[in-house]
Structure 1
Amino acid sequence: MPWPVLAFLDFVVIVGFDDILYPLQNQGLSVVFNWVLIILLFALPYEMVVAQLGSTFDSEQDGGLASWMRRSTHSDFLGYCTAWIFWASCMPYIVDVANSAVVSISWMILGNDSLNSLMSNTMFGLLTFAIIFVFILGQNLIKNSLEIISAIAALSMFLMTMLFVGMTGWAVLHGAKIATHPFNLKAFIPTFDAKYWSSTGLLMFAAAGAEVAVPYISKLRNPNRELPKAMILLAILTSCLTVLGTLALAMFFNANHLPHDLKMNGSYYAFQLLGQRMGWGKSLMYIFAVVQALYMFAQLAVFLDAVSWVLAGDTDEKYMPKWMLKRDKNGRPIHSYYLTAGVCLFLLLMSGTLPDINSVFNWLLNLNGIVNPFKNCFIFIAFIMVRLHQEEFNSGFVFVKNRTRALIVGWFCLLLSFTCAMMAFLPQEVSFGTHAWNSQLLMNIFTVIVLFGLGLIFPLLAKLERRHQTE
């Protein structure tokens, strides 16, 4: 696999046009400054850390992050815990991606935002689950499907975003008025309050995900040299899309008074407005809906495959029953896929208690801002352990040659991730102290406990399995 293909494969699961809408709704125009901070202080170090860990354990990639933690700490139990946390943290996003696929199809068919009024939560959940299940069943049908669909989808989404940015600039130069006021330096400066910290987890979630490509590192011709190149290209693509895309959106939307369903339908509103401004009607919106659907399907394909390998690829049998490690005729951990489907169904049932589809979409998205930063903590723990005992490990690529400085970077990113994860429990779209706020806070706490706590069951099942075999 050429290293640019790996970068595009990773780009598919990291950031899309939608990812620049979510933080804009939470933080307004100041999110541009926050994007720069997150990319410089978190995303770039994070991707370089992934590059070093990937080159250090390049022959032990089946378990991905779990293998890194298992080898760096010499603890099979921590390796299992990491595998489970990583897998569980991906579940809300898989459901969210399938939700977005349903929304994109509805825009292709209906041409408007009427899905929320035409469809019940139950039907929306059933369609979402059907898409997930179809992808689980058909994952192996096309050889090299992951590489092909990821490259096409990532390139298409990047080009559509740059097209949006370019056309927005053209419109402004030809007399179009900027919708956001004030549009000055003061508007870009954030307020570091509770809302800022509770919503920064979503930026971290949007910029993270490089470790998903770990199972494919071994396919590179020269991982030690090519993996850092792929991570740098990934950082450049992420920077261009987030910063330029946010500025372009602020031209069409008043960042101080955004639509309540911006997270669900904002991308389509944006391309619809751009098409109208250019005199092209709805054509750009329909093109984007097709690209978005392809992009979401690519994300589903990559995530369903990668997370299943992490859970069953390198886990000690003391903590996982043998039937969970079973492979099908193509070598895939088939029961990991079934478990994924079951947990996705649980999340859909939980979201079914919310008032409407827009609330379902927002809650699942915000849930990612909690679980994803928790997962990031394990990446930096593995990095800290490797640098503390670097004489034990042979790293083809070393991020920050000086050990003391490397440890400072690792600890800073670890504390930042943990802080954002804890603050993200606070609900975003509802007012503090209301019944809706209290309900969503309890849902957040309960769902995270179930997602992470479910992992405690499998070591018990493995123990019972060994006892039964002994008897």
Structure 2
Amino acid sequence: MKNAKKLGLWTLVMLIFVPTFGFGNIASNAVTLGPAAIPSWLIVALLFFLPLSIMIAELASANKDKEGGLYNWIECSIGPKWAFIGTWSYFVANLFYLQMVFARIPVMISWTLFGENRFNDANAYLLPYIGMGLAIALTYIATTGVKRFSKISDLGGKLTLAVTVIFILFAVVGVLVGGQPSATAFTSGTVIPKFDAGYFSTFSWLILAVAGAEVAGTYIKDVENPKKVFPKAVIIATTFVAGAYILGSLAICLVASPELITKAGVKDAGYVVYKILAENWGLNGKIFVQMYAFILTISSVAAYVVWLESPIRAMFSEVPSGTFPNFLTKKREDGTLVNALWVQCAILLVLIIVPLAGLNNIDKFFNLLTTLSALSLAIPYIVLAAAYLTFRLKGNVPPFVMLKSKAAVIIASSVVFVLGILAFFGAGWGNIAGAKNFSEAIVPILKNYGGPVGFIIFGFFISYLTKTFSKSNIKDK
């Protein structure tokens, strides 16, 4: 009975794949980069995602008896202070991310029910209110335990993978066998990226789009035979994600022209290309896109529940006693931090309400949150790369090892470290590059790069107050 409750290999693969992969990421970057997204995804997969996943697999195998995930992986190498910085930044980035993605689910449901997005223009004001309801509902689901919810994540992941494979196959076969011409002209000018400031900024978003291999680390104690199964699951899921992004970008370019994708926009491009593909094959485009949107809704809800719960575990489950108030670190028997989840929900509600309280430009506010999320998310990967390098150079050999030579360890961790730094500065570069002079650039610089630093300082402040309060209580007793 005990083994029956453990997470198996393919459930764990889907638990990684579902929160990491998003067809919308393919569509949104196709809007920005066009055919140049194809080699860009390949570069990101080989130089960042694969070595990062290998590091995560090795460090997870070395900490298989702990459930803190990211915190333990960093702490075992370079100490609790850097572990706190890495995990707190990850937690903050996740708050911004969750606050934004709740607006996506109503759009998915709209495509499912009506075959179109009915939250444009006049009805867009409803999204924040629906988002608040979703935040509360999904938090409640998360408090019941992600382990119980893993079956839905498993099903959603398999269905998402299936519809992605179907899209790729039908798009490629339609061109090669069906006689349908490619909607995009592939030339050296369109495929080879233009390595300018704009691309540098977009490339950073590609790097951060593959974030997710670490989310399953907090459930390693729930995995059957973690020493063997967890690393294998990470590598399989990494292969699936990388392949889906690369081949998916190619398929989108075959189905729709860059002009059409750009016209559809970031929110709706993913649905529009599915509709076009179905119509190219003589199928009912509306029904086809409704089926896709329904599957996407299931998998997305599963993904967001994982994203709600996993960073909470990473942040609060294994930190030293006294780092945070006991109210936040109190765990249920199954490891779920119910109080911390509801505090997170309250913060999310505030973040959703703020734009409704009189800000004159909600889009700018959300753009700022997006930037802060990406910048904050780059920090944990920079710290993790440094921790892994230090861990291996100290002579530690984890139970699962893929990078066997010292040279491979140094090269892989250095590349991830450098790309992480580039992602940090690149993600916030868009607003700054458009400034005419330094005085005009100073505000976005402070907002973009000062924000994550400020949140780290705020985290240390909370920890300092907690420790001070704990010491005063001890003295009083």
Aligned mates of 2:222, 2:100 — CA distance in 1: 29
Write the deviation string for residues 8-58 of structure 1: whole angstroms up to 9, x where unpaired: 110011112112122222222111111111111111111111110011111
Give distance in 2, aligned partners of 1:213 and 1:189: 35
Whether contact under 8 Å (1:367, 1:444) holds in the other structure is yes
Structure 1 equivalent of residue 205 of structure 2: 202
The 5 Å alignment of 1:236-275 reads 236-255=239-258, 258-259=261-262, 262-275=265-278
- Residue in 2 that maps onto 1:146: 149
Q: 1:14 aligns with which of 10, 17, 20?
A: 20
Q: Look up the equivalent residue of 2:110 and give its one-letter code.
A: S
Tell me which of 61, 64, 77 is aligned to 2:81.
77
Is 1:378 the counterpart of 2:420? The answer is: no
Cα 1:259–1:424, aligned 2, differ >3 Å: closer, same or farther? same
Q: Which residue of 1 aligns with 2:130?
A: 127
Listed one character per residue, the Cα deviations across residues 239-293 of structure 1 (whole Å, up to 9, x for unaligned) are 2211111111112332256435522111111112222222323111100111111
Correspondence 1:33 to 2:39: yes
- Following superposition, the deviation at residue 387 of structure 1 comes to 1.0
Distance between the aligned counterparts of 2:319 and 2:101, measured in 1? 27
Aligned 8 A contact 1:20 1:246 in 2:
yes
Partner of 1:417: 420
- 2:49 aligned partner: 43
After TM superposition, list the pairs within 5 Å mapping 1:43-442 onto structure 2: 43-60=49-66, 62-73=67-78, 75-121=79-125, 123-141=126-144, 144-172=147-175, 173-181=177-185, 183-255=186-258, 258-259=261-262, 262-279=265-282, 280-328=284-332, 331-349=335-353, 353=359, 355=361, 364-390=369-395, 393-427=396-430
**2: CA distance, partners of 1:253 / 1:204:** 24
- Give the Å deviation of 1:215: 1.7
Q: Percent identity?
A: 21
Could you report, residue by residue, the CA deviation over 1:388-441 in whole angstroms, capped at 9, with x for unpaired residues? 212xx441012321123312321221111111111111237996669x999877
**Contact 2:223–2:229 (Cα < 8 Å) also in 1:** yes
CA distance in 2, matches of 1:249, 1:21: 7
Q: TM-score, normalised on structure 2?
A: 0.89
- C-alpha separation between the residues in 1 aligned to 2:465 and 2:418? 34
Paired letter, 2:36:
S
Cα-to-partner distance string for 1:351-376 (whole Å, 9 max, x where unaligned): 5547467x777665555432222221
How large is the Cα RMSD of the aligned pairs? Answer: 2.8
Aligned residue pairs total 464
Whether the 8 Å contact between 2:374 and 2:424 is mirrored in structure 1 is: yes
CA contact (8 A) 1:311 1:336 kept: no
What's 2:3 paired with?
A: none
Structure 1 residues 58 and 144, CA gap change in structure 2 (3 angstroms): closer
Distance 1:79 1:142, change over 3 A: closer
Instruction: Give 1:77 shift.
Output: 2.4
Q: Which residue type is aligned with residue 11 of structure 1? A: F
Q: 1:288 to 1:335 in 2, by over 3 A?
A: same
